[in-house]
Amino acid sequence: MEQPDPPSSEASVSAGAFIQDAIAQNDPELDQQLAESEEGQPESPSIEQFRDWYRAARALGRSDDELSDIEAIGKAAKAGELNNLAESDVQQMETDLSAFGQQQELGVSIVNHARRFLGNLEAAGLVERDANGNIEARGKQYTVRETSQGIGIVKNDQSAGVLANGEGEITQVANLTETDRQNWEISASRSPDNLKALYQSRQQHEVNAPAQRSSGVEL
């Protein structure tokens, strides 16, 4: 599916809306008749809505076949060849857009918290960036890795996670919960000094701790 065109800086009015306004000014009675004739008729999704659907479905990890179907529907709509969208497709579009909206909101929050957490870990000297500027921390529940291309946070059991590009745009997201967001909010609230003290305290209780330095805090 083609990428959306850049949004215009000026408000635009469709030809249909312009004609409708002209009718309303010159013949209010005809305008009312037209309005009544359109009541109850479902409005077809716009091209931008199909693009949003495709992006949402892709971010949610829908299958290649499902993405191909959405792309075909969008192309048909753009070419003016889509008369009616099947009810099943309407429902799937609503489901995907709603699911992505909820997951995106959680994902953005978690990404912001994870970036702050990594910064505090680095300030505490508990993690270091490699030669390429990449940084990673692995805890009991989550692993977070940040590179020049973006950041990824996944549960260690691979049941949920989120990826964002360098601009913070969510590109992949799945199965995040409010509990995940709260966990990351708590982690991000710990200062570098607090993290260092927590790490040292746990090190004292570990037996045969690995030589490799780790974050030593719960993620």
The answer to which of 21-25, 47-51, 95-99 has the lowest mean pLDDT is 21-25
Query: What is the pLDDT at residue 203?
Result: 81
Query: How much is the pLDDT for 56?
Result: 96
pLDDT of the residue at 24: 54
Lowest mean pLDDT among 130-134, 176-180, 213-217: 213-217
8 A C-beta contact, residue 62 and residue 172: no
Residues 6+ apart with CB under 8 A from 66: 57
Q: pTM score, two decimals? A: 0.71
Q: Is the pLDDT of residue 211 over 60?
A: no
pLDDT of residue 9: 39
Q: Are 87 and 156 in contact (CB under 8 A)?
A: no
Give per-residue pLDDT as tens, 37-88: 445 445 678 889 999 999 999 999 999 999 999 999 999 988 888 878 899 9
73-90 per-residue burial string, b: 16 or more CB within 10 A, e: under 16: bbeebeeeebeebeeebe
Q: Which residue has the higher pLDDT, 7 or 149?
A: 149
Average pLDDT over residues 160-187: 96
Q: Say if residue 33's pLDDT is above 90.
A: no
Is the confidence at residue 3, as pLDDT, over 50? Answer: no
In percent, the amount of the chain with pLDDT more than 90 equals 63
Q: Predicted confidence band at 29 (pLDDT cuts at 50, 70, 90)?
A: low
Whole-number average pLDDT of the chain: 83
The average pLDDT across 139-155 equals 95
Residue 204 has pLDDT above 70, yes or no: yes
Specify the pLDDT at position 80: 86
Q: Which residue has the higher pLDDT, 70 or 213?
A: 70
Contact criterion met (CB below 8 Å) for 113 and 127:
no
pLDDT the model gives residue 84: 82
Distance, CA of 128 to CA of 218 (rounded, Å): 18
Q: Which of 170, 149, 152 is nearest to 161 (CA)?
A: 152
Domain boundaries, the chain: 104-205
